[in-house]
Structure 1
């Protein structure tokens, strides 16, 4: 496997090459073939978001407010006696676009925040715009929606819109082609909103806003803090005419909300995921999904979700709230701040400074490597394993087996010839009967 790891350790990215079964916490297990730091920028420029845009390019969104276009080339390594052959990468920043964060706005937003310490502005989303080659979108916690273009090897800022912050997530609807780009966003004390952006990037318009759920049993207002959202396909038999969007959202208060815009502005169903209201911070879907993780279904069934709490748990639920299982179990020792479903795998990293890869179908851990610093983001570039040369013990074992196989084959041949020879002699000695 080949991974790029965004690490808080000196604000670098690290290239990891390792096979399934690698575990740096066990001396007897396989160890990484390659782990090397690149593009160090310091702790204040750690990579919050990473996006692969081609076979040898990615975008890095850094805490410094820069988005970098990074290219890499590879050359072989190894090949000595009993050493595996694999490729390692050299990285180069090809273009940089800066000044995309707004620290002053975050100071204003902190005045109405429940957080004890002020949060620095950061990137909360970075993805490619479907159907628009070399066009990208980045969202910030302060409420900046940036639209970027890659042209002639350079990054250009096409347009920036300001929305209400703080923004914990920004999700694009990509289940079908729409006349305008449709985004959902929300955050602390910031109800979920749907906005449309014209394809020419001239206008952003809010088209829908959620309402909070009813007060709790003590008639107290339920805190507003949506943390992540995924769209579904439009309802087949909508309750009313008009705007037809469906989505699910998790909140920092461990609720899973179900929305249909034709049903109203409040969630039509709400599920408590965790009994003690531990904060849930992320949302990934396991099932038939789009490149941006939206659900290719009109039904709120037939898929599962993965979320994290702020302690150490990665939990998989049915939409009903039934717990299917946990990833990592007691192996994870700190907040799993980053998770991402990619194909058949779940990639995880966080405060305990390990990066892990799990198999979705059984939640088995395939890889665990100490990254040296808190893991902020991960790209899984390749899932194939490097062919390892045989050890002397394995070579001797195979040689011994080959000798045994040859002896057995020779013995079987001798037995077969003996049987054939015996049959021939019996036919010759058998008296002929004249009619």
Structure 2
């Protein structure tokens, strides 16, 4: 397995190469093949630490830093050399909340906490010197901005007291063309008041688009431990509103390619998997002096990724196909689990708090290559045996 974890303490990253069974917390277990510090250039410091990373053309790592600067690294280079680094004056004072690469259009969009989105184009694997900044409707800070995978140019965003909106920012033809004004496609409404007739606060932390044909379907996570599912054909309020925990949800990912299940983590130590189609109707229970017992439905819990002893918040969660899920956070351990069984596969101490994870290679790729080599050797051996076998004599009549 090969992974890159971004380090909060140093502002750089580390490339971890290990095999299943690796555990640095136990001396009698296999140890990592290598742990190498990478992405050191141009200025590795906590003030400019990497907060989000993604791939471009499967060869380059694109990283946005806390100061809204962007770095591009060549993953095929042994030292992961810096290809390009850009700092944009227009983004000064903003912090990234997301990073999305559109490889087919040689572009990236970075969501900013100031309620803006920055569009930057690639040119020959480097970033252009200019960026275009788009003001998002609402004029409020945001904590999440997500790109619609089926419709390039469409984004969803939200934040503290900034409810979900879906907007169209650009037209995606042969080239990207920014709209003269951002088009609002959907604006959500809050859920009804609670049992005390008090307004329910809004604080969206993460957003994911769900597959849909004739509408937009999304799932949001909140700082109040809620998962909300929206269907724009259903109305402006959430179609489903679930209280899955009492702590802030800080990551939200689909379980591999399965869009019916999500993996969430909170600001304590929980990493849990939930079904979006199997619902426990009486899973969440609370008591009110005025309303008595209150029972609410909750997506069925499919278990937690907790083997190996998570300590502290988990900020980085990355799935590799339908095989593995990697996690990392405050306790400085990179953990890799089997996605389905939730068993711990590898545990590596990296010596720095982890903000994000790029899962580059899984062990099954190496196994498949070994199997091919073994099959070729077997075939060659049989061919050799056949050629050395004496020819049968023909019977004379």
TM-score with structure 2 setting the length: 0.78
2:57 equivalent to 1:54: yes
In the aligned structure 1, how far is the partner of 2:186 from the partner of 2:107? 25
In the aligned structure 2, how far is the partner of 1:233 from the partner of 1:385? 28
In the aligned structure 2, how far is the partner of 1:73 from the partner of 1:59? 14
Distance 1:100 1:208, change over 3 A: farther
SS of equivalent to 1:337: strand
SS of equivalent to 2:196: coil
Larger radius of gyration: 1
In the aligned structure 2, how far is the partner of 1:143 from the partner of 1:349? 28
Q: CA deviation at 1:64?
A: 2.7
In the aligned structure 1, how far is the partner of 2:261 from the partner of 2:275? 5
In the aligned structure 2, how far is the partner of 1:253 from the partner of 1:381? 33
Q: CA deviation at 1:145?
A: 0.8
Q: Which has the higher strand share?
A: 2
2:149 equivalent to 1:174: yes
2:167 equivalent to 1:210: no
In the aligned structure 2, how far is the partner of 1:330 from the partner of 1:71? 33
Q: CA deviation at 1:55?
A: 4.3
2:328 equivalent to 1:349: yes
In the aligned structure 2, how far is the partner of 1:125 from the partner of 1:100? 19
Q: CA deviation at 1:195?
A: 0.5
In the aligned structure 2, how far is the partner of 1:193 from the partner of 1:138? 17
Please give the root-mean-square deviation of Cα atoms over the aligned residues, in Å: 2.3
SS of equivalent to 1:283: strand
Query: In the alignment, what sits opposite 2:48?
Result: 45
For structure 2, the 5+ residue unaligned runs are: 172-176, 280-298, 367-397
2:344 to 344, 365, 382: 365
2:126 to 154, 163, 168: 154
2:120 equivalent to 1:138: no
In the aligned structure 2, how far is the partner of 1:72 from the partner of 1:233? 31
Query: In the alignment, what sits opposite 1:21?
Result: 21
Distance 1:101 1:324, change over 3 A: farther
Q: CA deviation at 1:268?
A: 2.1
For structure 1, the 5+ residue unaligned runs are: 75-88, 105-120, 237-243, 290-294, 296-302, 388-435
In the aligned structure 1, how far is the partner of 2:2 from the partner of 2:261? 27
Q: CA deviation at 1:358?
A: 1.3
Q: Write out aligned runs for 1:283-302 (5 A).
A: 283-286=252-255, 288=257, 295=259
Q: CA deviation at 1:330?
A: 6.3
2:272 to 312, 315, 328: 315
SS of equivalent to 2:250: coil
SS of equivalent to 2:10: helix
In the aligned structure 1, how far is the partner of 2:242 from the partner of 2:125? 47
SS of equivalent to 1:198: strand
Query: In the alignment, what sits opposite 1:250?
Result: 221
Query: In the alignment, what sits opposite 1:422?
Result: none
Query: In the alignment, what sits opposite 1:195?
Result: 167
SS of equivalent to 1:201: strand
2:210 equivalent to 1:221: no
8 A Cα contact 1:310 1:336, kept in partner: yes
In the aligned structure 2, how far is the partner of 1:249 from the partner of 1:218? 24
Query: In the alignment, what sits opposite 2:12?
Result: 12
Q: CA deviation at 1:130?
A: 6.1
Number of residue pairs matched? Answer: 333
